[in-house]
């Protein structure tokens, strides 16, 4: 679908093994050192809240008690919700912690977006040109280019890489 506002792109959030808080973060994350989140254009979507919260968790540098505080808050909130996920803290409900942490998160997003864009054989502009000029594409070929360009659009727009 052209101009699809439901486009998503998977972005991996990983804990850095060289991080001094790696052990604490690994324990709090339920022994999960990475996860892939489908990022979309709509910053109000739950997946985007999860994405930013996970990056805040992964990029946090400071007193580990801050992370424990968020685990306690999440576990307390779960007692009052119909949430069957008892797998531990996932680092997804973390609001902005500090300006320094938000800067690290934004820098990480930039690096991840640039890495994601390098995986594609064509640029976003080339995909748009293909869609406009190539009338000989099969239905499947056209859909593949639309999907690829949609993922790039999310990377450019949602992750603010232009």
Q: Where are the domains of the chain?
A: 8-157
What's residue 45's pLDDT?
83
pLDDT score at 77? 62
The DSSP code for 120 is S
Among the residues of the chain, which ranges form H helices? 22-28, 46-59, 64-79, 99-118, 124-133, 139-157
Give pLDDT, residue 1. Answer: 53
pLDDT tens string 79-110: 555 555 544 445 667 889 999 999 999 899 88
Indicate the DSSP class of residue 1: -
- Residue 63: per-residue pLDDT: 92
Q: Which residues of the chain have pLDDT under 70?
A: 1-6, 75-92, 156-162
Global pTM value: 0.75
CATH architecture of 8-157: Alpha-Beta Complex (3.90)
Spell out the residues 6+ positions from residue 31 whose beta carbon is closer than 8 angstroms to its own: none
Residue 16 has a pLDDT of 94
């Amino acid at each position: 679908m052209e101009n699809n506002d439901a486009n998503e792109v998977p972005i991996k959030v990983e804990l850095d093994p060289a991080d001094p808080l790696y052990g604490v973060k690994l324990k709090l994350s339920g022994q999960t050192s990475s996860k892939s989140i489908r990022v979309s254009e709509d910053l109000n979507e739950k997946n985007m809240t999860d994405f930013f919260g996970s990056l805040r968790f992964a990029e946090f540098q400071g007193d580990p008690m801050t992370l424990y505080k968020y685990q306690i808050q999440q576990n307390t909130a779960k007692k009052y919700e119909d949430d069957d996920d008892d797998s531990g803290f996932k680092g997804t409900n973390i609001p902005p912690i500090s300006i320094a942490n938000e800067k690290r998160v934004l820098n990480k997003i930039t690096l991840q977006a640039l890495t994601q864009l390098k995986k594609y054989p064509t640029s976003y502009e080339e995909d748009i040109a293909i869609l406009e000029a190539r009338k000989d594409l099969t239905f499947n070929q056209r859909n593949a280019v639309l999907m690829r360009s949609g993922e790039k659009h999310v990377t450019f727009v949602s992750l603010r890489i232009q």
